[in-house]
Structure 1
Amino acid sequence: MKPFALAIAAVSALGISHVSYAGGIADPAALQQRLEKLATGKDARIGICALDQAGTSVCVRGDERFSLQSVVKLIAGAATLDAADHGAVNIEDPIIIRSENLSLMKQPLAKIVERNGFFRTNAGDLVRRAIIDSDSAAVDILINRLGGTGKINSFLAGKAISGIRIDRDERHLQTDIVGLQWKQEYVDAKVLQRAIKAVPEVERDTAFDAYQKDPRDTATPRAMTEFLAALMSGKLISTSSTDRLLAIMNETSTFPDRLRAGVGNDWSVAHKTGTSPTWKGVNVATNDVGILTAPDGGKVAISVFVADSRETPTRRATIIASAAQAVTEAYR
């Protein structure tokens, strides 16, 4: 049992009340010091926020903005399930995916469509693929069926979550980053790669610099963690949709060297990763956000963003894992 509940930042608006839970962050001041030390002396801008069920929150750069990258797929998935809860979307309705419906970059669906000419699925399956496989085609189709990114922002506003904004689908975000404008022909990976190689270096530099400074498609660690806290408290979407989404997040297959690597085998991790391209040694976004469940059933929401970094991929992953380790070791 937690001996006290010192709230560095309370989130009572999310319905997280100060009642007895299995456990929580026992010494937030000590955790704050440890996370600040972790975020110092790295060739990166690091944002971290952790929030337990009693409302105790510890954040480093909690109110700065960080690029979401594929973390957006979790948010779009939640918005889709919320739309289903309210009858706006039937997640079992058939969806036929053909080559013209594909996106770019990471999209395992492309191989299925290429092999068979089409793929028959539904929105429920696409939520799963967007999160577990980080499939860009899946999330772009979901965004389109919702009616655009504005619908996701309306969903967030309706849940009183500010500090997260979704502006572009993957097609437009990823082409903007490399100095291109989206064209339908870029669903062909070979055509896209030729186009990227043809972008003059100075234009790539300009586009990448603009991406680093762009407030679009970003979140603060505090807001992202409040989103996760709303999910884990059952305030974000219906009970059945919450159970469904958490089960999907538990199966996330991408980057097990991040949050998952920082917790013991007796902890479970429901999470979503995000990663930007690297240009001239600089990586804008290496992220992992999720819900850590302790052996006693207590939960802690956590968001870690490693931005504008020249650290190696392994080192960036280690930073995220170390943040998760610090949080779990602060749990009592």
Structure 2
Amino acid sequence: MDRSAFLLSLAAAGATTQHALAFGDAPQPFTAEEQRGRGRLGVTAVDLRDGRRIAQRGHERFPLASTFKLPLVMDVLTRVDRGTVRLDAKVAFRASEILAYSPSFGPTPHAGTKTVAELCEAAIEHSDNTAANLLLRITGGPPGVTAYLRALGDSVTRLDHTEPALNRDAPGDVRDTTTPDAMANLLTRLVRDPILSPASKARLFEWLRRADTGQTRIRAGVPRDWTVGDKTGTTATGGNDVAILWPPHNRAPIVLAIYFAEVHGTDEARDAAIAAVARRVIPMFRR
């Protein structure tokens, strides 16, 4: 299938849910958490049981940071489902391509190969920067990921750079940004719609559940009998976490996108504020 047909098929898959995902901002329900973290806090939460939504600054743009790795891996897995990419395909890399914060590549940079599956796992579970850049080769670079999102109906999120350049966080710069609404919409599509095969969706959910970078963020605010799958992102002055929250007893999940930018406090206060948002969201929906 050529790329234009591939993108058209994705757009068609999204047509059935677009009407149910129209977002309208509510009053600011997380002012206390925003003040606690000393920054600009954007939140969108959707209860997939009934479609109810809570938002603050849901339409405002925030730096993607490493949350871009979620749509990146979704793009790769879609190509796997289409038969144009194999999970066991080897991707070669040079020592000079290994970036800072690449825990899956060991302490000493050296050339080698990793499979597509290994790169996807590293990008989601460990937020590995080198793995993400190598996967971007498969998607046609940042423009390819942006095109994938456009085909899914996301007219907002844009990826313009690779790691580490995408992590700059200049206020007002729209490059490499998203909105909480857009990311909550993507998470909703991921859970509800057949944009990935059952096998690819199960694989991605498992990687998200095993992610180890967000222990002090959303995960810290969720009851122990819930299951969390999340993807974090961090810049010099911000921190993000986007997650699917599965309650016990096979009930419908909640999706939650939290973006915190222009933070003037400590990393600990920022993360505590993100956890506090998660702690408040669940009883708002599940009284």
Instruction: Please indicate the TM-score interval, normalised by the length of the shorter structure.
Output: 0.7 to 0.9
1:263 counterpart (189, 204, 222): 222
| Cα deviation 1:248-291 (Å, max 9, x = unaligned) | 000010130100000110011100000012xxxxx1x2000010
* Corresponding residue pairs, total: 268
Aligned counterparts, 1:312-331, within 5 A: 312-331=266-285
Deviation at 1:42, TM superposition (A): 5.0
Matched, 1:222 2:181: yes
1:161 to 154, 161, 164: 154
Deviating more after overlay: 309-318 vs 322-331: 322-331
Equivalence for 2:89? 93
Amino acid at match of 1:14: T
- In structure 2, the residue matched to 1:64 is 60
Distance 1:96 1:40 in 2: 46
Q: Secondary structure at the match of 1:134?
A: coil
Partner of 1:311 in structure 2?
Answer: 265
Corresponding residue SS for 1:88: coil
One-letter code aligned to 1:249 = L
**Structure 1 residue 112: Cα displacement:** 6.0
Q: Shift of the alpha carbon at 1:38?
A: 3.1
Change (3 A) 1:146 1:75: same
Unaligned runs of 5+ in 2: 1-13
Structure 1's unaligned 5+ residue stretches are: 1-10, 19-28, 178-207, 278-282
Q: Match for 1:288 among 212, 231, 241?
A: 241
Query: What RMSD, in angstroms, separates the aligned Cα atoms of the two structures?
Result: 2.4
1:238 maps onto 2:197 in alignment: yes
Letter in 2 for 1:255: G
Q: Is 1:113–1:119's contact at 8 Å kept on the other side of the alignment?
A: no
SS in 2 for 1:275: strand
| Residues in 2 aligned to 1:94 and 1:113: alpha-carbon distance in whole angstroms | 20
Q: 1:301 — aligned with what?
A: 255
Q: How does 1:1-332 map to 2 (within 5 A)?
A: 13-14=16-17, 34-40=29-35, 43-53=38-48, 54-102=50-98, 104-111=99-106, 114=109, 117-174=110-167, 177=168, 211-277=170-236, 283=237, 285-297=238-250, 298-332=252-286
SS in 2 for 1:212: coil
Distance 2:116 2:265 in 1: 37
For the residue of structure 1 that corresponds to 2:256, the secondary structure is strand
User: Is the CA contact (8 Å cut-off) linking 2:29 and 2:55 kept in structure 1?
Assistant: no
Structure 1 Cα separation of the partners of residues 175 and 29 of structure 2: 30
Equivalent position amino acid for 1:52 in 2: D
CA distance in 1 between counterparts of 2:47 and 2:204 reads 19
Q: 1:49 to 1:12 in 2, by over 3 A?
A: farther
Query: What is the TM-score normalised by the length of structure 2?
Result: 0.86
For 1:131 and 1:14, how far apart are their aligned partners in 2? Answer: 26
Q: Distance in 2 between matches of 1:13 and 1:58?
A: 22
Matched with 1:181 is: none
Counterpart residue type for residue 318 of structure 1: A
Q: Partners in 1 of 2:74 and 2:52 — Cα distance?
A: 24
Per the TM alignment, residue 100 of structure 1 is displaced from its structure 2 partner at its CA by 3.2
Secondary structure, counterpart of 1:273 in structure 2: strand
Counterpart of 2:64, as a letter, is L
Cα pair distance change 1:112/1:314, threshold 3 Å: closer
Larger-Rg structure: 1
Q: Is the 8 A contact 1:97 1:113 kept in 2?
A: no
The structure-2 alpha-carbon separation of the partners of 1:32 and 1:324, relative to structure 1 and needing over 3 Å to count, comes to farther
- Percent of paired sites with the same residue: 29
1:329, CA displacement in angstroms?
A: 1.7
Q: Would the aligned equivalents of 1:140 and 1:171 in 2 still touch at CA under 8 Å?
A: no
Query: Aligned equivalents of 2:136 and 2:28: distance in 1?
Result: 39
Bigger mean CA offset, 157-166 vs 313-322: 157-166
CA contact (8 A) 2:229 2:245 kept: yes
AA in 2 matched with 1:295: P
How far apart, CA to CA, are the structure 2 residues paired with 1:287 and 1:157? 22
Judge conservation of contact 1:130–1:139 (CA < 8 Å) in 2. Answer: yes
Cα 1:314–1:171, aligned 2, differ >3 Å: closer, same or farther? closer
